């Protein structure tokens, strides 16, 4: 029984003296020190507890820092993986070049449709299968003796 008397319990605890300060209740009647205008002076934006939406303290707001109308982004734009004729040097002559074989060699990365462009020269004969060709690329492949096949 005497052990229970000496035991410290939650309701015995209290904050250290001076650690708790009473909150100043502003604007609670004119009799008090901070009544009526509550220490805010008279009128003006600072007296009214309301800042305009997007106000950044005089700094140019974000909405004004960003550019206004700058073009249009087509959500239905079709992206092609682009391959130039100069990349075909890694293949053996007379072979067939398909999007799968290009991916295996690491010549194109992202999935999707493949377009062949005419950058570089072609001196080997190939059967090239792709989703699209530039007119110049088509001409160069056929003039080298190869053939072009458009994949749907």
Domain that includes residue 137, residue range: 80-150
Q: Do residues 67 and 85 share a domain?
A: no
The answer as to whether 117 is a domain residue is yes
Q: Do residues 38 and 90 share a domain?
A: no
The answer as to whether 12 is a domain residue is no
Q: State the pLDDT at residue 12.
A: 92
Q: Which whole number is the average pLDDT over 103-119?
A: 89
Q: State the pLDDT at residue 95.
A: 84
The answer as to whether 13 is a domain residue is no
Q: Do residues 91 and 62 share a domain?
A: no
Contacts of 136 (CB under 8 A, 6+ apart): 117, 118
Band of pLDDT at residue 116, cut at 50, 70 and 90? very high
Question: Does the pTM of the predicted model rise above 0.75?
Answer: no
Rounded to whole angstroms, the Cα distance separating 57 from 52 reads 10
Q: State the pLDDT at residue 2.
A: 57
**Can you list the pairs that 1-8 forms with residues at least 24 positions away whose Cβ atoms lie under 8 Å?**
none
For residue 118, pLDDT beyond 80: yes
The b/e string for 102-135 (b: 16+ C-beta within 10 A; e otherwise) is beeeebbeeeeebbbbbeeebeeebebbbbbbbe
Q: Do residues 134 and 104 share a domain?
A: yes
Q: Do residues 93 and 61 share a domain?
A: no
């Amino acid at each position: 029984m005497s052990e229970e008397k000496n035991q410290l319990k939650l309701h015995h605890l209290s904050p250290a003296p001076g650690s708790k300060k009473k909150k100043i209740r502003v604007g609670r009647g004119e009799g008090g020190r901070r009544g009526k205008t509550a220490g805010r002076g008279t009128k003006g934006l600072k007296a009214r507890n309301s800042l305009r939406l997007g106000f950044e303290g005089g700094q140019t707001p974000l909405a004004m820092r960003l550019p206004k109308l700058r073009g249009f982004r087509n959500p239905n734009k079709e992206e092609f993986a682009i391959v130039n004729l100069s990349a075909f040097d890694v293949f053996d002559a007379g072979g067939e070049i398909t999007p799968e074989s290009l991916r295996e060699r690491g010549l194109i990365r992202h999935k999707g449709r493949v377009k062949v462009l005419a950058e570089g020269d072609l001196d080997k004969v190939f059967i090239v299968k792709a989703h699209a060709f530039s007119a110049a690329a088509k001409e160069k492949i056929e003039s080298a003796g190869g053939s072009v096949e458009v994949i749907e």
